[in-house]
Structure 1
Amino acid sequence: MKALVYEGPRNVVIKEMPDAKIEKPTDVLVKITTTNICGSDLHMYEGHTNMESGRILGHENLGVVVETGSAVERVKVGDRVCVPFNIGCGFCKNCERGLTGFCLTANPGMAGAAYGFAGMGPYSGGQAEYLRVPFGDYNCLLLPPDAEEKENDYVMLTDIFPTGYHATVLAGVEAGDSVVIYGAGPVGLMATISSALKGASKIMVVDTHPDRLKLAEKLGAIPIDDSDGSSADQVLELTGGEGADRGCECVGYQCSCKGHEVPHLTMNNLVKAVRPTGGIGVVGVFVAEDPGSPDKLMKEGKLAFDFGQFWMKGQHMATGQANVKAYNRKLRDLIAAGKVKPSTIISHELPLEKAPEGYENFDERKDGWTKVVLKAAA
């Protein structure tokens, strides 16, 4: 099969790889039709992780079931399915509690597994023609009859839409709340949509890229340009000096200021921009270590976090990757009902063969390159 393979920092190539196949009775084999490039992929692409050469990337995957293991009962050949980026077993302590992003079975020795991702188990990614899905009955989300028509919407259920929604859950967003979202990338834009779904009274989105801020404004948010570093002050002004009720961190440790990485920037801005006793939800990626980081603390996975101010303001914070299965059914049904259209943020649709070009342009944050979807098959 054709697949996108990681060969080293900023070096990904399309290669012929051994076909994905059924390995266990609970597996499902999916012929990939659409797979996305995620901002999280860029951490590996840029060489910030211990990703091994020769691995297939891609954790936002959708396609058609072409084979099932002998123990699979619910999923059938021909079903169109969306696959959560995190792999859950369905029966461990965390999966039973709905915390599928922290499965204790799929990646022994670590809480959490994912497709084509450094440190998240041996599973190949789906930026390929075929994908093996472990625990297929549990992990495959069946799609409704309009699956082909709305494929670019449903593929967002693999990661970024549930992740953006998760940010609002972690922050505690409720109807009537004011919300500030740091990051107008794909996840931040999904948090914008999610805040609106939850009935937020005011949504403010912070970024430095004009094209992304325009998208946020199109989604009903107040765009805040942080090019001069004044975003927190702008939020305070927009909220009568009180600060936002809730804040979402949708950037991660590679946030930058005037071209330089400042890992603690968005976290400390949120502490300043969110009101006393307000909530902060953090879904941007922060890693245990990044030896290649230009920041001395971040090399060891640490931040110069303004904990004193955070404590004095009595704020609360929750963090971590999204438990996709906790949200994807309900979000699917919103798409099916025409209540939400996450594909609005897609900027480029490329054939799988052009994935290296997609990575290069997305990594350079070129204007207009907001979300890239790859078409592996018709």
Structure 2
Amino acid sequence: MRALVYNGPRDVQVVDMPDAQIERATDVLVKITSTNICGSDLHMYEGRTDMEPGRILGHENLGEVIEVGAAVDRVKVGDRVCLPFNIGCGFCANCEKGLSGFCLTCNPGMAGAAYGFAGMGPYSGGQAEYLRVPYGDFNCLVLPRDSQEKESDYVMLSDIFPTGYHATELAGVQPGDNVVIYGAGPVGLMAACSATLRGAAMVMVVDTHKDRLTLAEKLGAIAIDDTEGNGVEQVMELTGGQGADRGCECVGYQCCNMHHEEVPNLTMNNLVATVKATGRIGVVGVFVPEDPNSPDKLQRRGQLAFDFGAFWNKGQSMGTGQANVKAYNRFLSRLIEKDKVKPSWIVSHELPLEQAPEAYQNFDQRKNGWTKVVLKPGMDKPKRSK
């Protein structure tokens, strides 16, 4: 099969790899029809993780079931399925609580497993023609009949839509709240969408990329351009000096200041400054336990110079961690099915799998107009570029 393989920093290539196949009776084999490039893929692409050369990338996957293991009962050949990026067993203590992002059995020695991701188990990614899905009955979200017409909507259920929603869940967004979101990338935009779905009175999105802020405005959010470094002041002015009720961190450890220099603690401390006393913060941007190649000495050890004194003094609270996709993907799927939400509006490019190296390069450079890339194994020519 054709698959995108990581060779080293900023070096990925589509090559022939052994076909994915059923390995255990509980497995499902999926022919991939859509697979997204995620912002967290760029951490590996840039060499900021311990990703091993030779592995297949890709954790945002959707496709058609072509084979099932002997112990698979619910999922059938021919089903179209979306696959949560986190792999769960369904029966450990965390999975039973709905915390499938922290499964205790799929990645021995660490809570949490994922496709094609550094440190999250040996599982191959789905930026390929075929993908093995462990514990298929648990991990496959079977899609409705209209899934082909809305494929670029449904594939967002693999990660960024539930992750954006998870940010608002961690922050405790309620009807009537004012919400500030740091990051206008795909997850931040999905958090803005989710905050609106949850009834937020005002949603503010802070970033320095004007093309992405324009997309936030299309959602009805207030775009706050932090290019001059005065984003905190703008948020405080809009909230009458009190700060937002809730805040969402959707950038992570590679956030940059107005000079495009990495400042790992920037968004976290800005959230402490812009969320009101007793407000709550939800953090879904990726922060890692170690980052040896960081220009910041603390970040190399996975540490931040966090304004804990101000955080404590304001009586704020915080929720963190990756999204437990299965806790959200089914009801979010119904919103797509009934045309209540259309997450594909953030898609800027649908490209053949063979163009993945070029897509990674452009996405990594944050080129204007490169917001969300969907790769299509089997596609000969780009379907859409806007």
Same structural fold, with TM-score higher than 0.5 when normalized by the shorter chain: yes
Residues 251-295 of structure 1, C-alpha deviations (whole Å, 9 max, x = no match): 000000111100000000000000000000000000000000000
- Counterpart CA distance in 1 for 2:233 and 2:310 is 15
Inter-partner Cα distance in structure 1 for 2:378 and 2:282: 36
Structure 1 Cα separation of the partners of residues 207 and 378 of structure 2: 34
1:342 is aligned to 343
Determine the structure 1 residue equivalent to 2:169. Answer: 169
Once residues 159 and 229 of structure 2 are traced to their aligned partners in structure 1, the CA distance between those partners, rounded to angstroms, is 30
Distance 1:175 1:67 in 2: 44
- The aligned runs of 1:53-72 (5 Å cut-off) are 53-72=53-72
**1:233 Cα deviation (Å)?**
1.1
1:100 paired residue number: 100
Please, which runs of 5 or more residues in structure 1 have no aligned partner? none
Query: What letter is aligned with 1:38?
Result: C
Residue 143 (1) aligns with residue 143 (2): yes
Cα contact 1:34–1:377 (8 A) shared by 2: no
Unmatched segments (≥5 aa) in structure 2: 380-386
Question: What does residue 153 of structure 1 align with?
Answer: 153
Separation in 2, partners of 1:245, 1:377: 46
Q: Distance in 2 between matches of 1:205 and 1:163?
A: 16
Q: Helix, strand or coil for the counterpart of 1:157?
A: helix
Identity %: 76
| CA distance in structure 2 between the partners assigned to 1:366 and 1:133 by the alignment | 33
Question: How many angstroms apart in 1 are the aligned matches of 2:216 and 2:191?
Answer: 10
- Report which stretch shifted further, 283-292 or 227-236: 227-236
Give the residue type in structure 2 aligned to 1:86.
N
Letter in 1 for 2:103: C
Rounded Cα–Cα distance in structure 1 between residues aligned with 2:350 and 2:148: 15
**1:124 Cα deviation from its structure 2 partner:** 0.1
SS of aligned partner of 2:4: strand
Give the equivalent residue in structure 2 for 1:360: 361
Letter in 2 for 1:307: F
Q: For 1:90-129, list aligned pairs within 5 A.
A: 90-129=90-129
- Where has structure 1 moved over 2 Å in runs of 4 or more? none
CA contact (8 A) 1:32 1:377 kept: no
Report the residue type matching 1:292 in the other structure.
N
Determine the structure 1 residue equivalent to 2:5: 5
2:189 aligned residue: 189
Query: Is 2:245 the partner of 1:269?
Result: no
Calculate the TM-score normalised by the size of structure 2: 0.98
In the alignment, what sits opposite 2:51? Answer: 51
1:250 — aligned with what? 250
The residue aligned with 1:89 is 89
- The 3-state SS of whatever aligns with 1:55 is coil
Structure 1 CA distance, aligned partners of 2:5 and 2:18?
12
Hey, what's the Cα distance between the residues in 2 that align with 1:98 and 1:158?
16
Match of 2:383 in 1: none
Displacement of 1:52 in angstroms is 0.2
Question: What is residue 278 of structure 1 aligned with on the other side?
Answer: 279
CA distance in 2, matches of 1:191, 1:80: 26
Find the aligned partners of 1:174 and 1:86 in 2 and give their Cα distance. 27
Q: What's the CA shift for 1:229? A: 1.3
- 1:327-351 Cα distance to aligned partner (Å, 9 max, x none): 0000000000000000000011100
**C-alpha displacement of 1:241:** 0.6
Query: In structure 2, what is the Cα distance between the partners aligned to 1:62 and 1:260?
Result: 35
Q: CA deviation at 1:377?
A: 3.2
**Matches of 1:212 and 1:328 in 2, distance apart?**
25
Which amino acid in the other structure matches residue 360 of structure 1?
Q
Q: In the alignment, which residue of structure 1 is the partner of 2:326?
A: 325
Whole-Å separation in 2 of the counterparts to 1:275 and 1:286: 24
| Counterpart Cα distance in 1 of 2:377 and 2:327 | 27
Distance, in Å, in 2 between the alignment partners of 1:279 and 1:331 is 23
Q: Give SS of 1:260's match.
A: coil
**Helix, strand or coil at the partner of 2:147:** coil
SS at 1:297's partner residue? helix
CA distance in 1, matches of 2:357, 2:192: 29
Task: Supply the distance in 1 between the matched residues of 2:80 and 2:339 (Cα, whole angstroms).
Answer: 19
Question: Take 1:270 and 1:343, find their aligned partners in 2: how far apart are those partners?
Answer: 28
RMSD: 0.5
**After alignment, is 227-236 or 175-184 more displaced?**
227-236
Matching residue of 1:308? 309
1:75-119: CA deviation from partner (whole Å, max 9, x where unpaired): 000000000000000000000000000000100110000000000
SS at match of 2:196: helix
Matched to 1:288, the amino acid is: P
Output the TM-score relative to the length of structure 1: 1.00
CA distance in 1, matches of 2:347, 2:206: 19
Instruction: Report the Cα distance in structure 1 between the residues aligned to 2:377 and 2:239, rounded to whole angstroms.
Output: 46
1:337 maps to a residue whose letter is K
Q: Is the partner of 1:229 in helix, strand or coil?
A: coil
Amino acid of the residue matched to residue 372 of structure 1?
A: V
CA contact under 8 A between 1:48 and 1:290: conserved in structure 2?
A: yes
Where 1:35 maps in the other structure, the secondary structure is strand
Which whole-Å CA distance do the structure 2 matches of 1:346 and 1:79 have between them? 24
SS at match of 1:256: coil
Given residue 315 of structure 1, which amino acid in structure 2 is its aligned partner? Q
- The letter for the 2-side match of 1:40 is S
Q: Distance in 2 between matches of 1:308 and 1:27?
A: 49
Matches within 5 A, 1:289-300: 289-300=290-301
SS at match of 1:101: helix
Letter in 2 for 1:89: C
